[in-house]
Amino acid sequence: MVMSSLRSWGHLCLLLAVVAVAAPPVHGEDGYRLWLRYDRISDAEKLQVYRKAFSSLHVAGSTATLNVARRELRRGLEGLLDTDVPSVQAPQSHTILVGTPAQSDRIAELGLDGALNRIGPEGFVLRSMTVDGHPQTVIAANQEIGALYGVFRLLKRLQTHASVQDLDVADAPNVEHRVLNHWDNLDRTVERGYAGFSIWDWWKLPEYKKQRYTDYARANASLGINGTVLTNVNADATVLRPRYIEKVAALAEVFRPYGIQVYLTARFSAPQEIGGLETSDPLNPKVRQWWQDKVDEIYEKIPDFGGFLVKANSEGQPGPQDFGRSHAEGANMLAEALAPHDGMVMWRAFVYSNEVPEDRAKQAYNEFTPLDGEFRDNVMVQVKNGPIDFQPREPFHPLFGAMPETPLMMEFQITKEYLGFETHLVYLGPLFEEVLGADTYAKGEGSTVATVVDGSLHDYEFTGMAGVSNIGTSRDWSGSHFNQANWYVFGKLAWDPHAGAEPIAREWIRRTFTNDTTFIQPVTEMMMASRQAAVNYMTPLGLHHMMGADHHYGPAPWIDVEDVGREDWTSVYYHRADSAGIGFDRSTSGSNAVSQYYPPVKEKFDNLDSIPDKYLLWFHHLPWDYQMDSGRTLWNELVYRYNAGVDTVQWMQEEWARLEGMIDDQRYSQTETMLEIQEQEAKWWRNACLQYFQTFSQRPIPDRYPKPPHSLEHYKSLEFPYAPGI
């Protein structure tokens, strides 16, 4: 029996070995590499072309940034080409030559002065040239960071199977300050973060610098992001204490070779909280001196410190108005302290007073436009994309175009606070593109938000774009694989606000998943449809601010002042549904918020014959039987839109199911599960909202659409005390 058992065991082992050899390996990917996947190029023809074109590399210089460029280039080439690509002392045939004129006489002698003069400090030239009789690929820049950006650009071409013949690229960022805003707290929780805890391990800093910090810097540099605000806008003055400045300096040391400056959020009351002063009045000499000393202390440890981001006099945060001073007086005090060090103040325009105004959407414009021209030269006012708060859809903020003497910095939200957290597949490229492409008419037709942000409309001295980060300790960085695309598209649009969301999506898919067009095309279509799907099943036709209180998870259009204690934190304040109709009247006959836009925009939004459906209920309160252009009544249009959102998610599921086997099982399965969650929650949004609004419309849901399976009381009873991101 023993021998028989051994023989059986041997047969089983042999069978398993045969199966293991015969079955194709199933490779899983956890998403940690993001879009910097340097796997062997699968296209044999392309592989041979690239191997011939890039047989060696020569990076001229050995500074920290050029060493990073050399490592990245070698890492990328050897992974993609699956062959040794040696560094050579002198350029040979088919060498990649990288450097700046200051670091390399060879580059200085290539006759690139004209191109280099046009690309500024961060731009690069990527060109096929003949040098000393040898064909070479040249990456030249005025500064070393430009050379690194050029290296990433070349590697991207290989990743996406683009041509490398006859290269002639000269590129530079259109926006100077391209910054991530981390809403990370010192206890490592992340406000509105859905990808785990903060990646900044303050307890172990400054001694222990995790590899993840370097990988974070690589990813950002590959997109051209050049700044990071490490701490939450709801600021903690503790980060300004000496021991924390040492910790920040350690991160700055890691980021510096990648061209990334660190910024901190400044709590306006810090002179009182940690400085022992009796006031934080920005005109008080002792307060001004305290900030000057603190700034000097920071720069002693971090010579390239970027400056401060400030949230003041909003949502209970301290600010200059506490002392009877203006936003300009508060910002200028900090700007004065930073100016000798070339530091910047990014002063947020997201403000609303403790007293509820007649229309919260108007408040930032009312507070800031009278201050135009009063801010110091090193102050940028950071403005959210819309006048409320990162809703699934808002019209562009009326401040854009309205402050020609004050540089305005765009603030987008990459983390999906109002768009399904980490589980819904919602590509934000179309949202960003919609806002940037909106015409302000500040100087006539063509005065788009993008021309405000890039400074070309008003000739701003400084320009900037900020994105509220979606990064955390999740192994895939962003809570799901497709959320990485939102970090990616932000970086690309910060570099060039005039770029298109669709080509960026295609590029991201190629770099993240595969170059197979049978995968790229349907996934691009899914991504491009996903944002409108979310708008439809959450807030169609210009509705907004209908999520759960505090946690912002799920539908709660019934939230009233009794629930949250403040009218403009409620849902009913914004949708204003009643027996007569629905919508917030911001027309000239209502709150007149429409008049904050330039006349062509005002007239378009004010007139029911010209306003786009997507903003209809943002600016108008209309009867339930109002006739839409579709021929449906407003009530039936709402029912149609909510169901269309669900239908699109179900279509996305079907499209994804067809792609099984085209990518690794791990990422496929995660996305499949996320889409299942999204379908369930899209139906929840549809059912809860229609059940609630039907109590006012008193109209039936047409027979062709499903009826909510639960009572309104059921939907109201749902509670989520431990929802992430609070």
Question: Over the stretch 535-579, which tens digit does the pLDDT of each residue have?
Answer: 999 999 999 999 999 999 999 999 999 999 999 999 999 999 999
Q: Could you give the number of structural domains in the chain?
A: 3
Last residue of a domain, one of 153, 171, 189: 171
- Residue 524 in any domain: the answer is no
How far, rounded to the nearest angstrom, does the alpha carbon of residue 661 sit from its chain's CA centroid?
Answer: 30
* Same domain (yes/no): 181, 124: no
pLDDT tens digits, 394-448: 999 999 999 999 999 999 999 999 999 999 999 999 999 999 999 999 999 999 9
In a domain, 28, yes or no: no
Residue 357 has pLDDT above 80, yes or no: no
Tell which of 116, 151, 171 closes a domain. 171
Instruction: State how far the Cα of 102 lies from the Cα of 179, in Å rounded to an integer.
Output: 28
Contact criterion met (CB below 8 Å) for 96 and 88: no
Please state which of the ranges 251-260, 308-317, 353-362, 405-414 shows the lowest mean pLDDT: 353-362
Do residues 354 and 478 both lie within one domain? yes
Half-sphere exposure of 175 (CA within 13 A, CB side): 34
Please tell me whether residues 453 and 410 are part of one structural domain.
Answer: yes
Q: Which one of the listed residues 30, 336, 389, 613 is annotated catalytic?
A: 389
Angle between helices 517-538 and 634-657 (to 10 degrees): 150
* Per-residue pLDDT, 1: 36
Domain coverage including residue 702: 536-584+621-717
> What's residue 5's pLDDT?
41
pLDDT in the model for residue 232: 98
Query: pLDDT band for position 17 (50/70/90)?
Result: very low
**Which is catalytic among the residues 43, 168, 296, 315?**
315
State the pLDDT confidence band at 12, using cuts at 50, 70 and 90.
very low
568 as an active site residue: the answer is no
- pLDDT-wise least confident of 216-230, 353-367, 408-422: 353-367
257 and 380 share one domain = yes
Marked catalytic residue, from 122, 184, 394, 417:
417
pLDDT at position 315 is: 92
653-672 pLDDT, tens digit per residue, is 999 999 999 999 999 999 99
C-alpha of 361 from chain center? 23
pLDDT in tens, 623-646: 999 999 999 999 999 999 999 999
Q: Among 137, 171, 205, which residue terminates a domain?
A: 171
In contact, 268 and 316? CB cutoff 8 Å: no
Average pLDDT over every residue of 65-88: 97
CATH number at residue 652: 3.90.1330.10
C-alpha pair distances (Å), 670 with each of 32, 197, 212, 488, 648: 14, 20, 23, 20, 19
End-to-end CA distance of the chain: 64
Indicate whether 132 pLDDT > 90.
no
Q: Are residues 325 and 472 in the same domain?
A: yes
Look at residue 125 and tell me whether its pLDDT is greater than 60.
yes
pLDDT of residue 151: 98
* Contact criterion met (CB below 8 Å) for 435 and 385: yes
91 domain-assigned: yes
* Residue-wise pLDDT tens digits, 185-200: 999 999 999 999 999 9
In a domain, 38, yes or no: no
Is a pLDDT exceeding 90 seen at residue 686? yes
Mean pLDDT of 455-477: 98
pLDDT at residue 3, rounded to an integer? 38
Over range 20-47, report the average pLDDT: 79
CATH number at residue 100: 3.30.379.10
**Confidence at 352, pLDDT banded by 50, 70, 90:** confident
Residues 377 and 429 in one domain: yes
Say whether pLDDT at 525 is over 60. yes
336 is catalytic: no
pLDDT, averaged across the chain:
95
Give the confidence band of 534 by pLDDT, cuts at 50, 70, 90. very high
Q: Position of tokens 């306006």? A: 268
**Average pLDDT rounded to a whole number, residues 130-136:** 91
Residue 522 within a domain: no
Q: How many C-beta atoms surround the C-beta of residue 224 within 10 A?
A: 23
DSSP string, 154-167: HHHHHHTT---SS-
pLDDT tens per residue, range 283-316: 999 999 999 999 999 999 999 999 999 999 999 9
Helix (H, G, I), strand (E, B) or coil at 204: coil
Stretch 134-158: mean pLDDT, rounded?
98
Using 50, 70 and 90 to split pLDDT, how confident is the model at 23? very low
The CATH code of the domain that includes 468 is 3.20.20.80
CB 333 within 8 A of CB 291: yes
Contact 401/450 with Cβ under 8 angstroms? no
Confidence grade of residue 10 (pLDDT, cut at 50, 70, 90) = very low
| Domain presence at residue 7 | no
Is 507 domain-assigned? no
Asked if 445 and 572 sit in the same domain, the reply is: no
Distance CA 118, CA 353 (A): 45
Is the CB of residue 645 less than 8 Å from the CB of residue 535?
yes
Query: Are 155 and 259 contained in the same domain?
Result: no
What is the pLDDT, as a whole number, of residue 91? Answer: 85
Q: How would you classify the pairing of strands 124-131 and 177-181?
A: unpaired
On whether both 165 and 66 belong to a single domain, the answer is yes
- Identify whether residues 300 and 438 lie together within a single domain: yes
Q: Is 560 an annotated catalytic residue?
A: no
**Do 190 and 126 belong to one domain?**
no
Place of tokens 């400084």: 462
Contacts of 309 (CB under 8 A, 6+ apart): 181, 229, 233, 263, 264, 265, 266, 346, 348, 382, 466
Q: SS3 string of 119-136?
A: HCCCCEEEEEEEECCEEE
Same structural domain for residues 73 and 215?
no
Mean pLDDT of the 694-707 span: 98
> In the 3-class helix/strand/coil scheme, how is 284-325 assigned residue by residue?
CHHHHHHHHHHHHHHHHHCCCCCEEEECCCCCCCCCHHHHCC
- Report yes or no on 66 lying in a domain: yes
pLDDT of residue 271: 98
pLDDT for res 623 = 98
Query: How does DSSP assign 380-440, residue by residue?
Result: EEEEESSSSSS-SS-PPPTTTTT-TTS-EEEEEE-S-TTTTTTTS----HHHHHHHHT-B-
